């Protein structure tokens, strides 16, 4: 199975050469699934278009809203530093919209950041409970 993943990664790297964000989201999706998360949505957009959540997943009994940040290198710092106060606010608005539409309780949620550096092999860091609601 590992051979298939490596082959798929090579094809994906060639096809998505300039789309680092999409490649990072694909790697984060697989990374989270391998660690027991059940992904229920990808690229969730609010109806108003005011926010987007890269990945929504269940991790045990907790609904997790995941922001994925991808960089080619860490030359300008780790990718997760790009999640500033404004981005957090947009994520929180989108999460409230998702919870309202899904009817899920807010008490069982958290916000995570998955940081992807596209080295060979890619380096992925999962920052759980990255910021308070």
Hey, which residues does 116 pair with through a beta bridge? 70, 124
111, 28 Cβ separation under 8 angstroms: no
Helix, coil or strand: residue 34:
helix
Which listed CATH number (3.40.50.180, 3.40.50.150, 3.40.1350.10, 1.10.10.10) goes with 2-127?
3.40.1350.10
Stated pTM of the model: 0.84
Please tell me the distance from the alpha carbon of residue 36 to that of residue 74, in angstroms, as a whole number: 28
User: Tokens 């947009």 label which residue?
Assistant: 90
Output phi, psi for 115, to 5 deg.
-105, 125
Domain boundaries of the chain, sorted by first residue: 2-127
pLDDT in tens, 94-125: 999 999 999 888 889 999 999 999 988 899 99
Instruction: Residue 33: name the closest of 74, 76, 1, 75 by CA.
Output: 1
pLDDT in tens, 47-95: 887 889 999 999 999 999 999 999 988 888 888 888 999 999 999 999 9
């Amino acid at each position: 199975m590992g051979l298939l993943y490596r082959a798929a990664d090579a094809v994906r790297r060639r096809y998505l050469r300039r789309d680092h964000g999409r490649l990072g989201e694909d790697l984060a999706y697989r990374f989270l699934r391998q660690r027991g998360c059940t992904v229920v949505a990808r690229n969730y957009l609010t109806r108003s278009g005011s926010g987007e959540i890269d990945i929504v997943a269940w991790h045990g009994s907790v609904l997790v809203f995941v922001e994925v940040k991808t960089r080619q290198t860490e030359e300008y710092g780790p990718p997760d530093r790009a999640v500033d106060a404004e981005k957090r606010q947009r994520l929180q608005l989108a999460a409230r919209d998702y919870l309202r539409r899904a009817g899920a309780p807010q008490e069982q949620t958290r916000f995570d950041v998955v940081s992807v550096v596209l080295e060979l092999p890619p380096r992925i860091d999962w920052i759980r409970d990255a910021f308070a609601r």
